[in-house]
Amino acid sequence: MKCIGCGTLLQNTDPTLDGYTPNLDNKLCQRCFKIKHYGENITNIKPILNEDIITNINKQKGFVIFLLDFLNIYKEIIAAYQKIKLPKMIVITKSDLIPKNIKKDILVNNIKRYYKINEDIIFTSSKHKENLNVLKNIITVKEKVYFLGFTNSGKSSLINILSNSNLTISKRANTTLDFIKIKTEEGIIFDSPGFVPKNFLDNMLPKSIIRPVTYQLKNKYELKLNDNYLCSDIDNNLVLYLTNEIRVDKRVKKMNLPTEINVNDNTDLIIKGLGFILIKKGSLIKTDFTANLLETRPTIIGGKHE
């Protein structure tokens, strides 16, 4: 028997391993029970490796809906998408969190061009129930649909709404632990364990709509982002598209910041797990975020794109 919340095999022998339940008549493992009832997430689970998810999916027949969270789009995520050989499309989730100033058609065009994506990209929100009928139509036509994506992209939340299921959802990584087959009126769909990025800041998901904040950052100031700092070598203009779980302050430069990145005009500096900062002027950016948490790209939200 598999846990109906996370898909892992139930067992009653080792409380320290995945799938433990004191009683095998239970439908939920103890971990899912605790997440659902107490919001507590036990973290000593063994997630499936990203490569194994890809190998497994590429042996299947069906259609893949790949979920992307707007704040978390970067190369490692797109690389996993590109490795999927089944017919596929992208759905940008949690559209209720996307700032109102962002033009979705421009965003889609820029994502397609920069990340070289040929397939369709649409938006959805489990919270606002956006485009659910479009997704249901796709399931009807394709008959067998795999929902894939990185951890926390909102797969289980969306499937719960599409199929009236009770999959476990949480704001921590690795909630779903195995593939879960669900029969819906429209067709068969599968929830899946999320891919986990090599480096990212976990547990920072935004609770409400992202409000972009613009900083005229003079050369003598630095930004404080929770416990990290960031500055530019010239007077610059930064627009923060970051999770609202982060507290931002500005102060006179005090720190010698070890990570240096040269950026062109209109660059998004991605901080994996937090979102991104649109840097308007080409400059040298210094920060104490480690380099493996950072990535740059020509901005995907502006109209102009190189």
Ligand X SMILES: Nc1nc2c(ncn2[C@@H]2O[C@H](COP(=O)(O)OP(=O)(O)OP(=O)(O)O)[C@@H](O)[C@H]2O)c(=O)[nH]1
Q: Residue numbers of the site for ligand X (CB under 6 A)?
A: 93-94, 96-97, 125-127, 149, 151-157, 169-171, 173-176, 193-194, 205
- Give the shortest CB-224-to-Mg ion separation in angstroms: 33
Picked from Mg ion, ligand X, none, the partner binding residue 273 (CB below 5 to 8 A depending on kind) is: none
Part in contact with Mg ion (CB under 5 A); list of ranges 22-30, 175-183, 203-211, 246-254 = 175-183
Q: Which helix (H) or strand (E) holds 96?
A: none
- Residue (155 or 272) nearer to Mg ion, CB: 155
Phi, psi of 145 (to 5 degrees): -125, 130
**Residue number with the smallest Cβ distance to ligand X:** 194
157 interacts with Mg ion by CB under 5 A? no
Picked from ligand X, Mg ion, none, the partner binding residue 170 (CB below 5 to 8 A depending on kind) is: ligand X
Burial degree of 62 (CB within 10 A; 0-12, 13-18, 19+): middle
- Residue (127 or 224) nearer to ligand X, CB: 127
CB distance 294 to 269 below 8 Å: yes
- Residue (12 or 184) nearer to ligand X, CB: 184
Where do the H-state alpha helices sit in the chain?
A: 30-38, 50-58, 75-82, 104-115, 132-142, 155-163
Picked from Mg ion, ligand X, none, the partner binding residue 47 (CB below 5 to 8 A depending on kind) is: none
Characterize the bridge pairing of strands 248-252 and 275-279: unpaired
- Give the shortest CB-156-to-Mg ion separation in angstroms: 3
156 interacts with Mg ion by CB under 5 A? yes
- Residue (72 or 156) nearer to Mg ion, CB: 156
- Give the shortest CB-32-to-Mg ion separation in angstroms: 11
CB distance 60 to 33 below 8 Å: no
- Residue (187 or 197) nearer to ligand X, CB: 197
- Spatial separation of the C-alpha atoms in residues 293 and 140, rounded to whole Å: 39
Q: Which two tokens stand for residue 62?
A: 């069906």
- Give the shortest CB-261-to-ligand X separation in angstroms: 29
Picked from ligand X, Mg ion, none, the partner binding residue 295 (CB below 5 to 8 A depending on kind) is: none
- Give the shortest CB-169-to-Mg ion separation in angstroms: 6
- Residue (275 or 296) nearer to ligand X, CB: 275
**C-alpha dihedral (171, 177, 179, 185), degrees to nearest 10:** -40
93 interacts with Mg ion by CB under 5 A? no
Q: Which amino acid is at 290?
A: T
- Residue (190 or 229) nearer to ligand X, CB: 190
Among 220, 213, 225, 223, residue whose Cα is nearest residue 278: 213
CB distance 147 to 157 below 8 Å: no
- Spatial separation of the C-alpha atoms in residues 138 and 21, rounded to whole Å: 36
- Give the shortest CB-104-to-ligand X separation in angstroms: 15
User: 84 Cβ partners below 8 Å, 6+ apart?
Assistant: 54, 57, 58, 64, 66, 148
Instruction: Rule CB under 5 A: choose which of 110, 153, 163, 175 binds Mg ion.
Output: 175
- Residue (3 or 279) nearer to ligand X, CB: 3
C-alpha dihedral sign at 33, 91, 206, 130? negative
176 interacts with Mg ion by CB under 5 A? yes
Residue with tokens 């009683």: 23
Residues interacting with Mg ion, by CB under 5 A? 155-156, 175-176
